[in-house]
Protein backbone atom coordinates (compact mmCIF):
# COMPACT_ATOMS: atom_id res chain seq x y z
CA UNK A 1 0.00 0.00 0.00
CA UNK A 2 1.25 3.47 -0.85
CA UNK A 3 2.02 6.11 1.79
CA UNK A 4 -0.93 8.09 3.14
CA UNK A 5 0.38 11.46 1.98
CA UNK A 6 -0.51 12.96 -1.38
CA UNK A 7 2.36 13.47 -3.78
CA UNK A 8 2.34 16.96 -5.28
CA UNK A 9 2.64 15.48 -8.77
CA UNK A 10 -0.70 13.73 -8.13
CA UNK A 11 -2.63 17.00 -7.85
CA UNK A 12 -4.30 18.15 -11.06
CA UNK A 13 -7.09 20.44 -12.11
CA UNK A 14 -10.39 18.92 -13.14
CA UNK A 15 -9.94 20.69 -16.48
CA UNK A 16 -6.59 18.93 -17.05
CA UNK A 17 -8.17 15.60 -16.11
CA UNK A 18 -11.00 16.17 -18.57
CA UNK A 19 -8.60 17.29 -21.29
CA UNK A 20 -6.36 14.20 -21.06
CA UNK A 21 -8.46 11.56 -19.29
CA UNK A 22 -6.74 8.61 -20.99
CA UNK A 23 -3.29 9.66 -19.75
CA UNK A 24 -4.61 10.13 -16.21
CA UNK A 25 -6.26 6.70 -16.27
CA UNK A 26 -3.03 5.08 -17.49
CA UNK A 27 -1.11 6.71 -14.65
CA UNK A 28 -3.75 5.72 -12.06
CA UNK A 29 -3.59 2.08 -13.17
CA UNK A 30 0.22 2.04 -13.39
CA UNK A 31 0.99 3.61 -10.02
CA UNK A 32 -2.09 2.72 -7.96
CA UNK A 33 -1.86 6.17 -6.39
CA UNK A 34 -4.95 8.39 -6.28
CA UNK A 35 -5.13 11.79 -7.93
CA UNK A 36 -6.52 14.86 -6.22
CA UNK A 37 -8.51 16.99 -8.62
CA UNK A 38 -8.91 20.68 -7.97
CA UNK A 39 -11.71 23.03 -8.91
CA UNK A 40 -10.85 26.73 -8.79
CA UNK A 41 -7.55 25.85 -7.12
CA UNK A 42 -9.12 23.92 -4.21
CA UNK A 43 -8.94 20.17 -3.67
CA UNK A 44 -12.40 18.86 -4.54
CA UNK A 45 -12.24 15.24 -5.73
CA UNK A 46 -10.11 12.14 -5.40
CA UNK A 47 -9.92 9.72 -8.32
CA UNK A 48 -8.52 6.25 -7.76
CA UNK A 49 -8.03 3.00 -9.66
CA UNK A 50 -10.59 0.33 -8.66
CA UNK A 51 -7.92 -2.24 -7.68
CA UNK A 52 -6.19 0.28 -5.40
CA UNK A 53 -9.56 1.30 -3.94
CA UNK A 54 -10.42 -2.34 -3.16
CA UNK A 55 -7.03 -2.81 -1.49
CA UNK A 56 -7.72 0.26 0.64
CA UNK A 57 -11.14 -1.11 1.66
CA UNK A 58 -9.50 -4.40 2.69
CA UNK A 59 -6.98 -2.56 4.87
CA UNK A 60 -9.81 -0.61 6.49
CA UNK A 61 -11.72 -3.85 7.10
CA UNK A 62 -8.72 -5.51 8.73
CA UNK A 63 -8.09 -2.42 10.86
CA UNK A 64 -11.70 -2.40 12.06
CA UNK A 65 -11.50 -6.13 12.88
CA UNK A 66 -8.31 -5.59 14.88
CA UNK A 67 -9.91 -2.72 16.79
CA UNK A 68 -12.91 -4.93 17.61
CA UNK A 69 -10.67 -7.73 18.85
CA UNK A 70 -8.69 -5.25 20.98
CA UNK A 71 -11.94 -3.92 22.51
CA UNK A 72 -13.05 -7.47 23.28
CA UNK A 73 -9.72 -8.31 24.92
CA UNK A 74 -9.86 -5.13 27.01
CA UNK A 75 -13.40 -5.97 28.13
CA UNK A 76 -12.34 -9.52 29.01
CA UNK A 77 -9.37 -8.21 31.00
CA UNK A 78 -11.75 -5.90 32.86
CA UNK A 79 -14.02 -8.83 33.71
CA UNK A 80 -16.78 -7.63 31.40
CA UNK A 81 -18.71 -9.78 28.96
CA UNK A 82 -19.88 -13.35 29.49
CA UNK A 83 -18.93 -16.91 28.79
CA UNK A 84 -19.35 -18.14 25.22
CA UNK A 85 -21.54 -21.03 26.42
CA UNK A 86 -24.00 -18.53 27.95
CA UNK A 87 -24.07 -16.46 24.77
CA UNK A 88 -24.71 -19.53 22.59
CA UNK A 89 -27.48 -20.73 24.92
CA UNK A 90 -29.14 -17.31 24.76
CA UNK A 91 -28.92 -17.28 20.95
CA UNK A 92 -30.47 -20.76 20.79
CA UNK A 93 -33.34 -19.65 23.01
CA UNK A 94 -33.85 -16.41 21.07
CA UNK A 95 -33.95 -18.19 17.70
CA UNK A 96 -35.65 -21.35 19.02
CA UNK A 97 -32.81 -23.61 17.98
CA UNK A 98 -32.81 -26.95 19.81
CA UNK A 99 -29.70 -27.97 21.68
CA UNK A 100 -27.62 -30.74 20.12
CA UNK A 101 -28.07 -34.14 21.74
Mean pLDDT of successive 10-residue segments in the chain (101 residues)?
Answer: 72 96 96 95 95 95 96 92 90 89 63
Structural domain harbouring 33: 1-48
Within the chain, residue ranges assigned H as helices are 14-19, 21-31, 50-77, 84-94
**pTM attached to this predicted model:** 0.66
Do 64 and 100 share a domain, yes or no? yes
Do 38 and 60 share a domain, yes or no? no
- The pLDDT assigned to 101 comes to 63
Rounded Cα gap, residues 50 and 47, in angstroms? 9
Do 65 and 33 share a domain, yes or no? no
Sheet holding 11-13, edge to edge: 11-13, 35-39, 42-47
Do 54 and 41 share a domain, yes or no? no
- The pLDDT assigned to 27 comes to 94
Amino acid sequence: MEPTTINLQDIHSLTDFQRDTKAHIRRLKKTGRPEVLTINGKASLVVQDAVAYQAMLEVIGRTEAIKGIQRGLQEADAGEGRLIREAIDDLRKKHRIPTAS
